[in-house]
Structure 1
Amino acid sequence: MLHAKKLLIIAPILLAACATSYQPEGFTGGYSDMRMGSDLYRVSFEGNGYTDPDRAADLALLRAAELAMSNGASHFAVVDSASSSRQGAFTTPQTSSTTGTVNTYGSTATYNAQTTTYGGQTFIVSKPTAQNLVLLVRDPDEFDGPVYDAQTVAEGVKDRYGID
């Protein structure tokens, strides 16, 4: 019973900070980028099992906006994009507890036992990834196609997810 109580106390704490935060890619996910040409980048965001696919897509756009602004471009265009999900399984640890009683009568003893098992559940986890091939656009009037305003995207995504 003690293990079940611990799980009930710990579960809300874990759920409060579960979705992948906006950070460079690490153990729990995050963004990565690679320069493919002078103004061409591949930008990715990988979430964990608690990350919504829309959040992964938005945070990939945020990284593209930051790259544009840090490289002197006011806009960017998404040349190609892809999204996917990796699935994995997580199994909770299993523990068992046995309690019993012994009754004696003369030279005869009887034993009555009960075993209770906790854990051992398997959960399927889906981890979303959003990937964009991004072209930095310095003059949107000279670009033939739709472009994103980097400042507007950065402010909008940061406001939506409470990112400083």
Structure 2
Amino acid sequence: MAQLISARAPKQSFGRSITGQANALAFSKAELALCTAAGEKHQRAVAVTGSLGFSDGEGGHQHGKQGLIPCFGVPRGGGGAMKLRLFAVLAAAFLAGCQTPYQEMGATGGVVAMPITNDTYRISARGNGFTDPTAVQDYSLLKAAEVTLQTGNTHFVILGSQDTTSRDYGRTAGTMQTNVYGNTAFTTYNPGVTYDIVKPGQDLLVQVGKVLPGQQPPAGAFPAQQVYDNIGPRVLRPKKK
């Protein structure tokens, strides 16, 4: 909670306090600019444990869906609830655009298939802190279907799976700001906030094979073409350069 230190008690509320410090790994300078675009020149992006933080204009927060987003000020007076809902919609779009896309494994995650035997593969999928676990599951199954079709097979069987989700914990530095109004100086201090970033991951061990027309597929076998046709259109792809 912000602490207000003053030489005398103010007769009215002045300005907006800094609501936190951005997690440098989560936001770029362009994203931080979204915070000042709302007309709140002292606000910064904030990472809040288990929630999206929206500034209430008083240095506090209203909590919602898990994640990390820029913190926007909600002006005092009427219309605050409507603007908060609008910011929630914009935040959801922002988060969707930040998740790890279906791509080759890289620094921000992705998916890769590694052969174990001639017909057995290990599929590894990783996401960043903005990626939903179900998206990582889709990536694993889609890659298994692609490998099956690329090797001239029709079905794959999941021999085993492992949850490889990781978590990053940390705490941002506290912030302090002093404003002078006339002969009075007001100092507002906000302690750092703890953040918890969940990065979903999954490993699958799959066996691929070809089922001829009229043959019965093995128990639990996935038809690769159907998996590809259903999952392929809904995964997030990298933006074309």
- Give the TM-score taking structure 1 as reference length: 0.78
CA change 1:3–1:152 in 2 (3 A) is farther
Candidates 84, 94, 98, aligned match of 2:178: 98
Runs of 4+ in 1 over 4 A off after TM superposition: none
Q: Which has the higher helix share?
A: 1
**Corresponding residue for residue 79 of structure 1:** 159
Q: Residue 188 of structure 2 aligns to which amino acid in structure 1? A: T
**Corresponding residue for residue 158 of structure 1:** 232
Candidates 138, 163, 168, aligned match of 1:58: 138
Q: Distance in 1 between matches of 2:107 and 2:129?
A: 12
**Corresponding residue for residue 106 of structure 1:** none
Check whether the contact 2:148–2:155 (CA below 8 A) recurs between aligned residues: yes
Q: Is the counterpart of residue 46 in structure 1 residue 46 in structure 2?
A: no
Candidates 20, 30, 43, aligned match of 1:4: 43
Q: Distance in 2 between matches of 1:28 and 1:3?
A: 30
Count of residues in Structure 1 that have an aligned counterpart in Structure 2: 156
Q: Is the counterpart of residue 148 in structure 1 residue 187 in structure 2?
A: no
Q: Distance in 1 between matches of 2:104 and 2:186?
A: 50
Check whether the contact 1:3–1:118 (CA below 8 A) recurs between aligned residues: no
Q: Distance in 2 between matches of 1:90 and 1:21?
A: 25
Q: Residue 210 of structure 2 aligns to which amino acid in structure 1? A: R
Q: Distance in 1 between matches of 2:209 and 2:103?
A: 24
Larger RCO of the pair (alpha carbons < 8 Å, separation 6+): 1
Check whether the contact 2:174–2:191 (CA below 8 A) recurs between aligned residues: yes
Check whether the contact 2:101–2:236 (CA below 8 A) recurs between aligned residues: no
State the Cα distance separating 1:40 from its structure 2 match.
0.8
Check whether the contact 1:76–1:134 (CA below 8 A) recurs between aligned residues: yes
CA change 1:21–1:162 in 2 (3 A) is closer
Q: Distance in 2 between matches of 1:96 and 1:26?
A: 37
**Corresponding residue for residue 194 of structure 2:** 122
**Corresponding residue for residue 135 of structure 1:** 207
State the Cα distance separating 1:144 from its structure 2 match.
3.7
1:4 match: secondary structure: coil
State the Cα distance separating 1:88 from its structure 2 match.
0.9
5+ long unaligned stretches in structure 2: 1-15, 17-40, 46-69, 73-89
Check whether the contact 2:112–2:124 (CA below 8 A) recurs between aligned residues: yes
Q: Distance in 2 between matches of 1:92 and 1:3?
A: 17
CA change 1:91–1:14 in 2 (3 A) is farther
Check whether the contact 2:162–2:202 (CA below 8 A) recurs between aligned residues: yes
CA change 1:14–1:115 in 2 (3 A) is farther
